[in-house]
């Protein structure tokens, strides 16, 4: 018995994860956005590398994997105190699996001061292009492109509250709780130049009416979510476009009477 088994954790391998993903419906050629928690599986032999390899096994050479590699302006994401986003060095704060994707030499990463994405596969460069001059969750942003082009959303051991695809719908609906391109931060361009770039100013105090229980409840009522357990992780898979459409409908119903507004700068 290994010491990990002795702790009571479930041990899973790359092959276990790939098999579970295929059984859930992830298929060769899929384009998929992944939100994840490495620890949710129990103990993964090979760690984050094994999970990324399993994801790539499931979608094959024709598939494209994308993950959030956000920094949220957290100081631990930067190499110094300047808080200049550098696509080559600024770390992801979205977990070990996303950081593993970001560091792979074949990965492409979008240029965005707070919410960049990293992707691997034949559509990676297309997904991650253009982001700098768009609204953070514009329909032409990496996630907007994925959800409007048949991409899937995979939740590995995390809840719907981490699913950023909802923000594509909120941006489309023009919800008044987010300040579009109102947050100014610095970005280092590939040629080394540092410029000001704009990002979303997040919502301030107050309860959002649709996030997140309402979205999941509506999607489950419509039969849009597939569920499976891999190791100790609860895994969900669903169509990104259907998730955005469901959220957009909820926005049109609930957001007009909402009083939440963007937070004040500096808070």
List, for residues 37-86, the tens digit of each pLDDT value: 999 999 999 999 999 999 999 999 999 999 999 998 777 777 776 789 99
Tell me: pLDDT of 2 over 80: no
Q: Report d(CA 50, CA 228) in Å as an integer.
A: 19
Domain count, the chain: 1
What pLDDT is stored for residue 135 in this prediction? 97
Whether 262 maps to a domain, the answer reads: no
Out of 34-48, 150-164, 194-208, which region has the weakest mean confidence (pLDDT)?
Answer: 194-208
| Per-residue confidence band for 3, with pLDDT thresholds at 50, 70 and 90 | very low
* Phi, then psi, of 264 in degrees rounded to 5: -80, 140
Q: Is the pTM of this model over 0.75?
A: yes
Domain with 136 in it: 3-257
Residue pLDDT, tens place only, 104-141:
999 999 999 999 999 999 999 999 999 999 999 999 99
In a domain? residue 263: no
Task: Note whether residue 117 is domain-resident.
Answer: yes
The pairing of beta strand 194-201 with beta strand 179-188 = antiparallel
Would you call the peptide bond into 241 cis, given omega within 30 degrees of 0 as the criterion? no
Per-residue pLDDT, 6: 46
211-266: per-residue pLDDT in tens? Answer: 889 999 999 999 999 999 999 999 999 999 999 999 999 999 999 999 999 998 75
Domain membership of residue 107 (yes or no) is: yes
What is the SS3 string spanning the chain? CCHHHHCCCCEECHHHHHHHHHHHCCCCCCEEEEEECHHHHCEECCHHHHHHHHHHHHHCCCCEEEEECCCCCCHHHCCCCCCEECCCCCCCCCCHHHHHHHHCCCCEECCCCCCCEEEECCCHHHHHCCHHHCCCCCCCCHHHHHHCCCCEEEEECCCHHHCCHHHHHHHHHCCCCCEEEEEEEEEECCCCCEEEEEEEECECCCCCCCCCHHHHHHHHHCCCCEEEEECCEEEEEEEHHHHHHHHHHHHHHHHHHCCCCECCCCC
Q: Is residue 139 part of a domain?
A: yes
pLDDT at 81: 65
Q: Is residue 58 part of a domain?
A: yes
Residue 267 domain flag: no
In a domain, 61, yes or no: yes
**Structure tokens that stand for 148 in this block:** 């409007």
Question: What pLDDT score was predicted for residue 7?
Answer: 63
- Report the pLDDT value the prediction gives residue 152, as an integer from 0 to 100: 98
pLDDT at 32: 98
Q: What tokens does 126 get?
A: 């297309």
Tell me how far apart the alpha carbons of residues 110 and 256 are, in angstroms, rounded to a whole number. 32
């Amino acid at each position: 018995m290994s010491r990990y088994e002795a702790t009571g954790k479930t041990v899973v391998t790359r092959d276990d994860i790939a098999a579970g993903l295929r059984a859930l419906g992830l298929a060769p050629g899929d384009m998929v956005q992944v939100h994840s928690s490495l620890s949710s599986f129990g103990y993964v032999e090979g760690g984050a590398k094994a999970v990324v390899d399993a994801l790539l096994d499931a979608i094959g050479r024709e598939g494209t994997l994308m993950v959030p590699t956000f920094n949220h302006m957290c100081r631990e994401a930067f190499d110094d105190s300047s808080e200049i986003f550098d696509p080559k060095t600024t770390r992801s704060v979205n977990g070990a699996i996303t950081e593993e994707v970001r560091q792979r030499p074949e990965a492409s990463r979008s240029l965005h001061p707070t919410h960049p994405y990293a992707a691997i596969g034949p559509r990676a460069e297309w997904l991650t292009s253009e982001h700098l001059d768009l609204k953070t969750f514009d329909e032409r942003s990496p996630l907007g492109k994925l959800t409007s082009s048949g991409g899937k959303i995979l939740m590995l051991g995390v809840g719907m509250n981490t699913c950023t695809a909802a923000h594509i719908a909120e941006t489309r609906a023009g919800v008044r709780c987010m300040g579009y391109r109102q947050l100014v931060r610095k970005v280092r361009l590939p040629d080394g130049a540092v410029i000001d770039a704009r990002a979303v100013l997040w919502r301030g105090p107050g309860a959002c009416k649709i996030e997140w229980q309402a979205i999941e409840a509506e999607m489950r009522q419509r039969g849009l979510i597939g569920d499976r357990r891999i190791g100790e992780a609860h895994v969900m898979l669903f169509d990104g476009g259907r998730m955005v459409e469901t959220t957009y409908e909820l926005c049109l119903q609930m957001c007009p009477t909402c009083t939440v507004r963007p937070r004040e700068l500096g808070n």
